[in-house]
Amino acid sequence: MHKVIVVEDDRIIRRGLCQAIPWEKHGFFVAGEAADGAMALDLIKKEQPQVVVSDINMPFMSGLEMAKHVKEVSPDTKIIFLTGYEEFKYAQEAIKLKAFDYLLKPVTGEQLLEKAKEAVAEWEAKMLNEKRIHESLPLLQQSFFQRLAEEGDRQMDIEQELSDLGIQMAGPYYSVILLQYNKEGEKPGFKEQAVQLAETLAINLDSVVMDVSFNQFAIVLSLENNGDGTKAHLAQELLDFVNREANDPVTISYGRTYSNLFEIKNAFLESCLAMDLRHIMGTGRVISFEETVSRDEQQENEIVKLQIKIENEIKLGLPDKAKSTLERLKQAILDTKTVGLSDLRVLALKFSTMLFFEMEKWNEEQTESFNSSEMYQDIMRLQTLAGMMEILNKLIERWSVVMSKRKEKNNFSHVDQAIKYMKENYHDRGLTLQKLADVIHVSTPYLSNLFKVEKGFNFGDYLLELRMKKAMELLREGKVKTSEVSDKVGYSNPQYFSICFKKYTGYTPAEYRKSF
């Protein structure tokens, strides 16, 4: 039902307009009546009717005077004036006031109803159009910011663009505050409340809240001075509110302040750059563009060097060193503040792929499964530098464990095989490290390294010890000649055997035999 208010100083005519016309039958109801314009204004302000039927010439306040004020208290109300022939001159004034229409007295109920229906049809069309504009406004605002970011060096007519969105900025200084939240983590009605608060906080600054994307909105600020105090205070106040109302951390960023309206573009892009570094600076806080600026090219070069160093350490199988270098890379990224979120994800993908390859290589018996697909999803969801460090450190730890297990298994098996063979074949004059490595099917350098790691001395020292202890055992028996002992422990030259024996025990073979 649509509301109608009747304004007529003649009581009889007023009652006839209210009661004799079948308003309800045609979708209307009389929301009130008044004898002059002054009384009608209070009623119109309260009821916000779709249609006002009013006489033009009335005491105290004429219909024309009333119409001027109606546009202030109920701007969408349609006014239909009733006028006599002798008052026709007033109709021209009514047209200037943008009244919907006027009818000459006497008027029939059918004429008035028809005119009221036309007025309501126009009102509904306007409301529908405004609704469509309101519903599409977020998309229009998002389009504005998208073009703002993509225009490159071409200049947009910012003032006209904002005017098309119904926005006027007084200045003389301008900036942009950007707020980003997790769409999935918000409470019901969170965005509406946050926007309402932002609008309340910004209203005294002649500023406006606009949609940027599905999980971002911006406050385009009109400031009285170029200091950051007001801007920083507004950003912090807004952050305090949204962090209480949001399930997940909300991050707010802002760019520098500019003195020209067209430079809002710069302020917005700076806010975006600051926001992109939330994965480094931390979420759930306010980040100013000034904080993110770094001019240290040496630090940026350091990042490249550290990346190469980590790659080499992974290839060389050095998990402890790779982990240490990764910490240095983290600090370099924090210092430079120039690595974007997409670059972080690329780094995480590169290093994780290398680490998965190494783990599979060291995990030849497939004793543990590695879900690279799940790790890839985690990296694609990566939002912070801390998150990247957590993923890569876990991978390095798993890689280290796999390497240790494999080395432990291989080390003991190869060393045990080597020692067993040496104990059984120490008398072999041709026993060398190369021959031993060939017997147990490993490389000579690898076997040499295993002896140093596991025994603390090399192959030659161990073989010497083995032969000398056996020689001492034979000499203590006192029945075997030195030449025979030399032959039995793998020496073809007795003189050389004697030299080695004295060097090892401090005695010649003969002296050693006499001592027992």
Residue 137 belongs to some domain of the structure: no
User: What pLDDT is recorded for position 198?
Assistant: 65
Same domain, 383 and 442: no
pLDDT at residue 487 greater than cutoff 70: yes
Q: Which of the pair, 191 or 259, is modelled with greater confidence?
A: 259
Residue 493 belongs to some domain of the structure: yes
Helix (H) or strand (E) holding 280: helix 278-281
How would residue 201 be classed by pLDDT, with cut points 50, 70 and 90? low
Same domain, 57 and 106: yes
Rounded average pLDDT over 502-507 = 86
Residue 141 belongs to some domain of the structure: no
Asked which of 351, 369, 403 is the last residue of a domain, the reply is 403
Asked which of 403, 436, 470 is the last residue of a domain, the reply is 403
Rounded average pLDDT over 493-501 = 89
pLDDT per residue as tens digits for the range 330-388: 888 887 776 777 788 888 888 888 888 777 766 654 445 556 667 777 887 778 888 88
Rounded average pLDDT over 119-126 = 85
Same domain, 172 and 284: yes
Highest mean pLDDT among 15-29, 196-210, 393-407, 451-465: 15-29
> Taking the model in full, what pTM does it have?
0.41
Residue 33 belongs to some domain of the structure: yes
Cα 390 vs. chain centroid, distance in angstroms?
Answer: 17
Rounded average pLDDT over 388-407 = 82
Same domain, 397 and 436: no
Same domain, 279 and 385: no
CB 122 within 8 A of CB 98: no
Please state whether beta strands 78-83 and 173-180 pair in parallel, antiparallel, or not at all (unpaired).
unpaired
CB 169 within 8 A of CB 220: yes
Rounded average pLDDT over 93-120 = 78
Asked which of 229, 260, 289 is the last residue of a domain, the reply is 289
Lookup: tokens for 194: 């946050």
Residue 395 belongs to some domain of the structure: yes
pLDDT at residue 227 greater than cutoff 50: yes
Beta bridge partners of 251: 180
Tell me, what DSSP letter sits at residue 288? Answer: E
* Neighbour count for residue 27 (Cβ, 10 Å): 12
DSSP 327-368: HHHHHHHHHH----HHHHHHHHHHHHHHHHHHHHHH-TT--S
Rounded average pLDDT over 287-311 = 72
d(Cα 76, Cα 61) in Å, to the nearest integer?
Answer: 21
Beta bridge partners of 378: none
Same domain, 220 and 260: yes
**Helix 372-380 × helix 385-425 angle, to 10°:** 150
| Residue found by looking up tokens 């041709």 in the block | 430
Print the domain residue range for 202: 166-289
Residue 418 belongs to some domain of the structure: no
* Neighbour count for residue 490 (Cβ, 10 Å): 19
Lookup: tokens for 26: 């045609």
**Helix 385-425 × helix 341-362 angle, to 10°:** 20
Same domain, 279 and 301: no
Cα 385 vs. chain centroid, distance in angstroms?
Answer: 11
Among 43-52, 69-78, 88-97, which is the least confidently predicted range? 88-97
d(Cα 501, Cα 479) in Å, to the nearest integer?
Answer: 18
CB 508 within 8 A of CB 500: no
CATH of the domain at 109: 3.40.50.2300
Same domain, 6 and 121: yes
Same domain, 122 and 8: yes
| Burial of 462 per CB tally in 10 Å (0-12, 13-18, 19+) | middle
User: What pLDDT is recorded for position 467?
Assistant: 92
Among 203-212, 255-264, 406-415, which is the least confidently predicted range? 406-415
**Helix 63-73 × helix 37-47 angle, to 10°:** 20
* Neighbour count for residue 167 (Cβ, 10 Å): 16
State residue 106 phi and psi, 5-degree precision: -75, 150
User: What long-range pairs does 100-107 form, CB within 8 A, spacing at least 24?
Assistant: 100/51, 102/56, 107/82
pLDDT per residue as tens digits for the range 162-188: 777 777 777 788 888 888 876 544 455
Residue 57 belongs to some domain of the structure: yes
**Which percentage of the chain shows pLDDT scores above 90?**
5
Same domain, 111 and 51: yes
How would residue 205 be classed by pLDDT, with cut points 50, 70 and 90? low
CATH of the domain at 508: 1.10.10.60
DSSP 440-498: HT--HHHHHHHHHHHHSS-HHHHHHHHHHHHHHHHHHHS-S-HHHHHHHTT-S-HHHHH
Among 46-50, 137-141, 263-267, 492-496, which is the least confidently predicted range? 137-141
| Burial of 453 per CB tally in 10 Å (0-12, 13-18, 19+) | exposed
Lookup: tokens for 79: 């006014």
CB 141 within 8 A of CB 212: yes
Residue 139 belongs to some domain of the structure: no
Arithmetic mean of pLDDT over the chain:
79
Same domain, 494 and 430: yes
User: What pLDDT is recorded for position 290?
Assistant: 77
How would residue 51 be classed by pLDDT, with cut points 50, 70 and 90? very high
Domain count of the chain?
A: 4
User: What pLDDT is recorded for position 5?
Assistant: 92
CB 352 within 8 A of CB 395: yes
Same domain, 240 and 352: no
